[in-house]
Structure 1
Amino acid sequence: MEEEIRPESLEDALSTLAEAASTPARDRKRKVSTTVDAITASAFNHGLDSTSLIAVVGIVTKKNELDQTINTTLVKNLYPLQRVSSGAVLVVVGSLGSGRGKPASSTQVALVRWLVLVQEELQDAACLSALYGVLFSMLDTISLRASLCHLLALITERKHVKPFRIQQLLALSRFAVEDPALVGLLNVYGEYYPDVVVGSASSGKSSKFTYPDPEWRSRLHSIQEVHARSDAAIHTADPNGFRVARQGAKRSKISVVPGLHTHCSDEHSVALENVDSVNEFVEKLESVVLPNQLVAILKDPLLQKYLVLKPSVTATKRIELWLSKALEEEIKLIRDGFGMTSHLSEVLQGLFNYTRYTKILLPSAIHFLEMYLPLWDGVSNTAEIFGLLAYLPISLFLDVRRRFFSAAEAAVIMHASEPYESLVALYIDLTSRWAQHIGSNASDRSGADANTPIEAFIELIDHVSTLVLSILCNPTSSGSTVSAILRFYQTLAAVLFTPANKSHSIPIVLPPAQVVYLLLFTSSLSELSRLLAILASYKQAFEASISATIRHPPATTNRFNGYLMDACNLFWRSLALRKSDANAFGCFCPESVQPSLRDYLETLDPEYSLVSSFGLSQNHVLSSLSVAALRALEDQADEEGLDLNTRHAGPATRRSLTKLDKDGRQTGLSQVHNLYFVAYSDEIWVYQPQFPTQELPKEPSFIFKLPLSTPGLPGYIDPQNPHGINNVVIGFLGNEEIIAVVCDDGDVIAHYTQDFNDAVERRQNPDSLDAPSDDPFPVFFHANVGMSAWGLAIHTEARMIAVSANSDGITVFAFALAKEEERSFQRTQREDEATGCSGGPGVSNLDDEERTWKYWDISDSRTEVKDSSVWYGNTGRPLSDDHEESLYDNEDEGEDEDEEEDEEEESVMGGYPGTVGDIHERPEDFRSRVYVSNSPSKFLLPPQTSTLADRKDRLFLDDDRVCDNTRRPIRPVPKLPCPLLFASVADIYLLQPWSNPGEPASCSPIVALADSLYQKPSEHTSRCNVFDRFNLSAQIPDLGVIVLASQKGRVAVLALTQVQTQVSEPTGDSFVRKVVRTVFAYRLDRILPFHSQEKAGQRPNAPLLGIAVGPIQGTAGEGRTRRWRLMLHYLDYTVLSYEIGKGRDDVLGVQNLIV
């Protein structure tokens, strides 16, 4: 068996053949027959591409050293894989005739026969027409005459029929009596000029001009059909449609639709067959005559273009007549039980192509579909049948459904293998065309029929929605079917944005709620993404129509609001199946079912929650992406050298991210002892800072592991570290300083700092060999609040500890001393205070002389907080101070400020009443604004029952409004017994105390500082910008200083101030009086780290995880301590220490100690 030659080896074989063709046989070193066999085998099996074909033609069209058998074999195997180029045709024609370098006559005959075979495969059909005179002049060559007459008969056009050629043919016929080839060519000439008398010359036996080798043509068709699967351009008509389509590879198939032929043209008219380009078509458009068979329009694009540009009633009637007769015969045969003929597919294909081009379904086609669909088997010609149905003119859908779609749906569902996908695809096309019709003809409709198209369109969508719902409820529906359903609603949403809908005439028809929720709980990520994109498109359509003053029924907008609200509750808000929100449907999940679902989830894992099981992190479709995104962020942090103490175990939620951020990264300084506490996981590391640099030793003095109240406690967030510390507070309970911590499992633990100090001193004794963690530490207090605990506050005077947790209340533990001098407590009273909020992140007490305790419910705060996409760290708490002796007096202090502050230490200074103090070389990347207002409306949000998440700009609609951000009446400012300082994301506010019983609380001025820690983004600190929010705080009452820190790594040092001012006060009898009022304010005294430290790169590119303040060593117990230390603890274990103090002139100073 001969070896099959691959294209890469065919080139070598052709080179060898070309060398052998110029080498005499006696001088060849190897047999040429092997090379010829390889080339012919490759040509017969795969065909020859253009390059190889030119190479072989170039060899056989010259006189060569190959024997005649090889030349004939090569010509017979010239199977073109692609269309034959004009260059190859010129080479072949140029080799014909007599001459010194011409090939043998038998080779020339084979080449002409080859031109006859490939005449329909030419790249440029005009090439042979241009060579007509050359070919005609060779008719006197007897050996070539028969083949040349066949070729000329195939390419003859009216322009070629000339009198001199007729005379030459007559002369040749006299010498070659009754030559069939000459008689056949004369008959072709006679068709163009029937009045020309050719005498008895054409009365002889004429040739039928059959193809010389039908098997060769069949083999060529097979080769080209195989190649056509990878090259769609093979055997297609002119891609521009400006040339008459001729059958190529399927020529042998008998066609019921006739080809385009024109036999009635004269020398002043042009036949479409003679048009070869768009320029020629435009030039001769008015001279074109109609062909004999107009039904050729079903498959000829040039005739379609002509009749579109020059419509003719006569031509349309002729086409209708032919189609009606042909289709009626098919209906009759089917009804008589003979079945459809093999020609019906060709007719339907041609009819569909014609309809697709003209966008008009002929009346004969409409009548045929109405008669044929009840007889249809639902399988044959599905693409053509559905393609025609998609062009049905718009009318009342109930009538259209009765006449066409009921029978079509029944046939397809009964017999087709994938019925639903094809049905939905049909309705996609029909919906798109009907919508385009409504939009394009909106201005033409008037009167009683104005709403008919819109009603028909709505009826169509309702029918499809019913069909879609039944498909989705079918368990056998495939993924491709669901994809088709989504494509339908994508199309329905897309038509609302087409140019045809500028007047918003296409109605917005929503998908049924059941369809939305079935797809909302899909197991495919792509399907979910496409559904949410569809809802977003609908929202844009609503917004566009509302801006155009188009009103929609309230039921429609409310229903769409429900879709959006339920989707938000599922994925973003972790409030799945909730119905309490406005317009929410709760995904139509009955409330009676939800307890069973919750019970089932608890059997799987107590940590599972029904409301959050469908969120971004826990959704069965989205969880893998959430984990991948979280891991990528953690890996990026590792690559950037940012040490992660703990990796998230997953799934990631806002609470768990907050928990992860707080775990093991809480700090505190004792106010009595030289002890610095750092919480890592469930351990407390104790350090002794060195004096005077406050540098921390490399190793802690000892490590203390927190005890468990009860093993296996529920209520934690992090399953990897359920006993991790969430918050650390150091303060005085009565006269004793304690360190209190709250844990993820709800444990509340308190120790005396004196015990830690005693342990450190024992460790410093060289006689002690105990390990640091072996010292027994008596637990002063140990309890559990049942849920993950976060907020922690110590009330000094009332001897109480307040704890907030992931529950709807705050737990307060009250203690009583047995005797004034004893440290032990005889009893503990526990009080649970209901707040109506869940998961309070912070709690703070207000120390007053009456020793009462209060809490501030921050979930009901009216303070406007900017949105943030990052997790919260240690949540800031409201700061209050009634030590008026620590407040600065602006009037006494302002004169000396400029002399005392140096460039390195100062950022921004400002104070009441709205003036900004002098600034020394203020860097451009810092900015701050001071506001003073007597109205709380600028800073306080109105009271409402919804949560903070509900107050965000809503994506859903409220009747005819896209967003509902209407401000409601302002709640009065609470009556405060002292100034209240609090911070939002980036702003700082101070509320005045309520002092006059007859004065409205809203009259008190509010001092605000906006963007106090703003800094232009830089490459060094870019990673920390996502943590930019005030979330850490500390107080130094002895200095009248409050420290507010942002987790991005910057700290604001505020000095409390006060000023005496005259205000007008109503007396109640329509008079006012002038009174002197003390107004409390503050000054932004320092921003840390210093600007010089920022420039030197000493600020770490890591979040700030804790701040701590305490007296400088050796200064405690001196009354009002005037020297304090501030320690900033970063994630990368960098600790920046500063000394804060007052000189004798009472001016605050901040000094950098060590990095």
Structure 2
Amino acid sequence: MAESASSEGELHVSRCHCETGRQRHRVPRSIQIPFDTSDPIVIPNQDHDSQDETNSDGGSSHDGTDWDIAEQEAMQAADGAMLEVEAVDDVDLLQGTLEEAYAIIVLHGLNDVAGLDLEDFGEEEDPGAIQAILAEQDDSSDSEGLPRIAKWRLNLTALSQVYNIYMVAYENRIHISRPRSCITNALPAEPDLILHPPASAMSFHIGGYLDENFPHQVNHLIVGELGQEEVLLLAFDDGDAIGYYTRHIENEIIRRERGEQTDGSVPEPFFHENVGNSAWGLAVHKQSRIIAVSSNLHNVSVFVFALTGASYKHAKGADSVELFRNIVKDENGKIFDLRKGSAHAAGADKKKCKVLEDLIRHRDANWRIVLETGRMGTNIPNVAFSDDQYGEADKVVAIDIHGVVWLMDIWHFCGHPHIKIESLHGFRYYRNPRGWGVLVLPESSFLPTKDYKDSLGLSPKEARYVTGDDIGRWIDISKGIKYLKNNSTVHPWMRSGNRNRFAINLHENGFRHHPEQNWSTHAHVAREPPASDIDEDRFFSAREIPSLRTYNWKPDPLKKRVLADGSSIMRTYELDIELRSFDEDGYGIMFEKAIDQFRPPHTVLPSMRRSHERLANLLHVPELSLVVAGSMCGRVALVTLTRPREDIYSFSRGFKIEAILPTKYDEDSNVRPICPLLGVAVAPVPFSGNTDLADGPIGRRRYRLMLHYYDLRILSYELSRNSENDNLTIF
């Protein structure tokens, strides 16, 4: 691929490849695809970067406006419903789609009945009759065999890092497909394999949080490594957590591709347990061979598999108590050993507590360690593992919807209460931004950078320095948004003069219009950056002079590390991205409203409820020093992790947003659908360098990025970084 001369770290973006659901599934234009509201709209000529007008390799992923007009004809059920909404007096008389139901509910001010429980995983309200009406759309959808979406979940798509297989969850089924092209990532009309994960006996007693009538739907899926095996993990609304080996999935697809006769069987799960309530967060640890699952019981279950003796083996219909010995650790570090329904305190006697620690670490039995957040906790959408100095799992790092990060020690039972890291936004107001995503990022994932702007994406004069007793030290880099090329900061319906397509919800965007709720309100904002940041040129010219080192404010990270191995924590809210310093006294980095687009106050899309902006889908690509941060609103931020080579700045690690996808050009070309994002997936392009995860990359390796939307459209990009000093490139 030919590249023009550019500065270090500059991002090149070409047109994406788009495959609509209508194309892939060969749907006639007379049939509406649910959530498809992408009628072609005419946007006035926009100023785009020249390199974005055509593919950098001279090609084009689509042919122009005629391509969009021919392929995107769809009925506007939501808009049609809004035109007649004033004539509807009784919501119970409603017959139609989810979009029609919600348009009426919003405009009648009933979203407190039907919406809050779905946003918060169902914890606040009983939806009652309205929930039943919304559920009826599952039976009335005239989609003629199209896969149906489990709405308002977390990430529901994944790419294997080892095999050329793409996985997507539709309600209670997992569609497995082999992309037919390494360039376009085109998928077949029918999946190569469909998994039907069974429901456990306990799940029938648990029921569903989001859908009482259809509880066994997938809330979240991930791909990770468990020992030497890559696994697909699924979290269900009825509390089930299910795992498959991707090797078994690949072998079954190969058998079918060879035309070998089969008995119709499909791979069986290697792992199937229930966590007692709607399951959400998922994490897997390669070296320690453990799995973590969070639930709406405000806790995290850590499944510790036996490495000697009787190993874990999933048994259909077996109760978890029969397969695991269960330990509960509350927020204060108090331990309860649950044995066949009875409980007794095990943390009071330190000698017995130490014996219990040694017993579990010996790994000759299967244990489930339940880490509770207690009355101060709430629903936990995402979890991750942190490591000790030897690469073994040390803690569960969890985020709850109040924005609190919990550091939960796994192995120590003699005290060791959980550590809480409060949200920077606090929780003084109901509509404060909520916590959605969390990642643990080792130092090795951060790209060495040459200077301040290369590290944070803006100059020191443009950054804002915030300090406070409650929040610590922070650098706000939000003004860096203006340097993102081809980024759309105004919603395409606004730019095209189609603002009438929005619906109104008076509860939407409340936190945006209350300046007193800003995270830095009660902190000190410095007028000037520290000298160590602003005088970087003096350091480069005279850095051997001892007196100049007085500008260098650098605490000893070995003394006050937040995590044992010195990793950093990334936390995401609805719109904001935060990187905490790896030491307690260092500077963290904050980027506010990263994926925000302007639209009129209190407006929503007809097919969305409020708070569809939630940066909940975080994927870490260590080889590219990259975090892919996907939001349900349909936008994805590409975040490069950075660390300055010179030890002269007030911060040791940072990040910069390289691009936000889909680009402004994609929007103006009607490529981006205006509907929620079903999932985002990233993996190495097959045969682009070494695919053996144990040996590391050999030569250049490219990654593919796939954005899958509710209307079944998939946008594909390709990412690459030749070496640690080369530009991140989107093909």
Q: Supply the distance in 2 between the matched residues of 1:1123 and 1:868 (Cα, whole angstroms).
A: 43
Q: Supply the distance in 1 between the matched residues of 2:570 and 2:234 (Cα, whole angstroms).
A: 25
- Preserved contact between residue 881 and residue 978 of structure 1 (Cα < 8 Å): yes
User: Is 2:292 the counterpart of 1:802?
Assistant: yes
Structure 1's unaligned 5+ residue stretches are: 1-524, 527-567, 575-608, 647-658, 899-910, 928-948, 954-962, 995-1000, 1064-1075
User: Is 2:582 the counterpart of 1:993?
Assistant: yes
Name which of 1037, 1058, 1063 aligns with 2:622. 1037
- Preserved contact between residue 477 and residue 591 of structure 2 (Cα < 8 Å): no
* Alpha-carbon displacement from aligned partner over 1:115-165 (angstroms, at most 9, x marks no partner): xxxxxxxxxxxxxxxxxxxxxxxxxxxxxxxxxxxxxxxxxxxxxxxxxxx
User: Is 2:559 the counterpart of 1:980?
Assistant: no
1:1111 counterpart residue number? 684
1:725 counterpart residue number? 218
Task: Tell me which structure has the larger Cα radius of gyration.
Answer: 1
2:592 counterpart residue number? 1010
C-alpha spacing 1:887/1:1042, structure 2 compared with 1 (3 Å): same
Name which of 1098, 1116, 1127 aligns with 2:706. 1127
2:718 counterpart residue number? 1139
User: Is 2:329 the counterpart of 1:756?
Assistant: no
- Preserved contact between residue 714 and residue 787 of structure 1 (Cα < 8 Å): no
Name which of 160, 167, 171 aligns with 1:681. 171
AA at the equivalent of 1:645: R
* Alpha-carbon displacement from aligned partner over 1:503-562 (angstroms, at most 9, x marks no partner): xxxxxxxxxxxxxxxxxxxxxx99xxxxxxxxxxxxxxxxxxxxxxxxxxxxxxxxxxxx
1:376-775 maps to which residues of 2 (within 5 A)? 615=125, 617-618=127-128, 623=129, 630=134, 645=148, 660-662=151-153, 666-690=156-180, 691-710=182-201, 713-717=204-208, 718-766=211-259, 768-770=260-262, 774-775=264-265
Alignment partner of 1:1143: what SS?
coil
Higher helix share: 1
CA drift of 1:777 comes to 1.7
CA drift of 1:884 comes to 2.2
* Alpha-carbon displacement from aligned partner over 1:976-1015 (angstroms, at most 9, x marks no partner): 4322222111111111111xxxxxx3x4212111222222
- Preserved contact between residue 1105 and residue 1130 of structure 1 (Cα < 8 Å): yes
User: Is 2:425 the counterpart of 1:882?
Assistant: no
- Preserved contact between residue 617 and residue 680 of structure 2 (Cα < 8 Å): yes
C-alpha spacing 1:1086/1:914, structure 2 compared with 1 (3 Å): closer
Number of residue-to-residue matches in the alignment: 455
* Alpha-carbon displacement from aligned partner over 1:23-47 (angstroms, at most 9, x marks no partner): xxxxxxxxxxxxxxxxxxxxxxxxx
CA drift of 1:809 comes to 2.4
C-alpha spacing 1:811/1:1127, structure 2 compared with 1 (3 Å): same
Q: Supply the distance in 2 between the matched residues of 1:792 and 1:668 (Cα, whole angstroms).
A: 13
Alignment partner of 2:711: what SS?
coil
Q: Supply the distance in 1 between the matched residues of 2:729 and 2:305 (Cα, whole angstroms).
A: 38
* Alpha-carbon displacement from aligned partner over 1:288-328 (angstroms, at most 9, x marks no partner): xxxxxxxxxxxxxxxxxxxxxxxxxxxxxxxxxxxxxxxxx
C-alpha spacing 1:1025/1:753, structure 2 compared with 1 (3 Å): same
CA drift of 1:1095 comes to 1.1
CA drift of 1:645 comes to 2.6
Q: Supply the distance in 1 between the matched residues of 2:641 and 2:385 (Cα, whole angstroms).
A: 19
- Preserved contact between residue 886 and residue 1038 of structure 1 (Cα < 8 Å): no
Larger relative contact order (CA 8 Å, sep ≥ 6): 2
* Alpha-carbon displacement from aligned partner over 1:426-478 (angstroms, at most 9, x marks no partner): xxxxxxxxxxxxxxxxxxxxxxxxxxxxxxxxxxxxxxxxxxxxxxxxxxxxx
CA drift of 1:848 comes to 4.0
* Alpha-carbon displacement from aligned partner over 1:847-900 (angstroms, at most 9, x marks no partner): 44431331234344422279898999xx742112114265231339959x99xx
Q: Supply the distance in 1 between the matched residues of 2:433 and 2:607 (Cα, whole angstroms).
A: 14
* Alpha-carbon displacement from aligned partner over 1:92-132 (angstroms, at most 9, x marks no partner): xxxxxxxxxxxxxxxxxxxxxxxxxxxxxxxxxxxxxxxxx
CA drift of 1:1151 comes to 3.0
2:652 counterpart residue number? 1079
Q: Supply the distance in 2 between the matched residues of 1:571 and 1:722 (Cα, whole angstroms).
A: 17
C-alpha spacing 1:1146/1:823, structure 2 compared with 1 (3 Å): farther
2:663 counterpart residue number? 1090
Q: Supply the distance in 2 between the matched residues of 1:745 and 1:913 (Cα, whole angstroms).
A: 41
Q: Supply the distance in 2 between the matched residues of 1:708 and 1:800 (Cα, whole angstroms).
A: 22
C-alpha spacing 1:978/1:914, structure 2 compared with 1 (3 Å): same
1:649 counterpart residue number? none
C-alpha spacing 1:1020/1:750, structure 2 compared with 1 (3 Å): closer
Q: Supply the distance in 1 between the matched residues of 2:160 and 2:114 (Cα, whole angstroms).
A: 44
Alignment partner of 2:284: what SS?
strand
* Alpha-carbon displacement from aligned partner over 1:774-816 (angstroms, at most 9, x marks no partner): 2342421222222221211112221110111121422111124
Q: Supply the distance in 2 between the matched residues of 1:921 and 1:842 (Cα, whole angstroms).
A: 31
RMSD: 4.8
C-alpha spacing 1:631/1:1144, structure 2 compared with 1 (3 Å): closer
C-alpha spacing 1:839/1:984, structure 2 compared with 1 (3 Å): closer
CA drift of 1:1146 comes to 3.4
- Preserved contact between residue 796 and residue 847 of structure 1 (Cα < 8 Å): no
Q: Supply the distance in 2 between the matched residues of 1:1011 and 1:703 (Cα, whole angstroms).
A: 38
Identity of aligned residues (%): 26
- Preserved contact between residue 485 and residue 659 of structure 2 (Cα < 8 Å): no
AA at the equivalent of 1:828: N
User: Is 2:370 the counterpart of 1:832?
Assistant: yes
CA drift of 1:1062 comes to 5.9
Q: Supply the distance in 1 between the matched residues of 2:168 and 2:478 (Cα, whole angstroms).
A: 40
CA drift of 1:744 comes to 2.2
CA drift of 1:670 comes to 0.7
Q: Supply the distance in 1 between the matched residues of 2:396 and 2:296 (Cα, whole angstroms).
A: 16
2:554 counterpart residue number? none
AA at the equivalent of 1:1047: M
Name which of 273, 278, 281 aligns with 1:783. 273
1:70-89 maps to which residues of 2 (within 5 A)? none
- Preserved contact between residue 225 and residue 231 of structure 2 (Cα < 8 Å): yes
CA drift of 1:719 comes to 3.0
Deviates more, 1:775-784 or 1:1143-1152: 1143-1152
Q: Supply the distance in 1 between the matched residues of 2:657 and 2:206 (Cα, whole angstroms).
A: 41
* Alpha-carbon displacement from aligned partner over 1:5-31 (angstroms, at most 9, x marks no partner): xxxxxxxxxxxxxxxxxxxxxxxxxxx
- Preserved contact between residue 678 and residue 686 of structure 1 (Cα < 8 Å): yes
Q: Supply the distance in 1 between the matched residues of 2:450 and 2:169 (Cα, whole angstroms).
A: 40
AA at the equivalent of 1:832: V
C-alpha spacing 1:640/1:1016, structure 2 compared with 1 (3 Å): farther
C-alpha spacing 1:985/1:639, structure 2 compared with 1 (3 Å): farther
Q: Supply the distance in 1 between the matched residues of 2:720 and 2:289 (Cα, whole angstroms).
A: 30
Alignment partner of 1:855: what SS?
strand
- Preserved contact between residue 886 and residue 1039 of structure 1 (Cα < 8 Å): no
- Preserved contact between residue 443 and residue 568 of structure 2 (Cα < 8 Å): no
- Preserved contact between residue 716 and residue 745 of structure 1 (Cα < 8 Å): yes
Alignment partner of 2:205: what SS?
coil
CA drift of 1:569 comes to 12
* Alpha-carbon displacement from aligned partner over 1:341-393 (angstroms, at most 9, x marks no partner): xxxxxxxxxxxxxxxxxxxxxxxxxxxxxxxxxxxxxxxxxxxxxxxxxxxxx
CA drift of 1:1093 comes to 1.1
1:858 counterpart residue number? 399
AA at the equivalent of 2:248: D
Alignment partner of 2:728: what SS?
strand
* Alpha-carbon displacement from aligned partner over 1:708-730 (angstroms, at most 9, x marks no partner): 33276211223322222222111
Structure 2's unaligned 5+ residue stretches are: 1-88, 91-110, 315-362, 406-421, 459-474, 492-506, 512-516, 525-559
Alignment partner of 1:843: what SS?
strand
Q: Supply the distance in 2 between the matched residues of 1:832 and 1:678 (Cα, whole angstroms).
A: 29
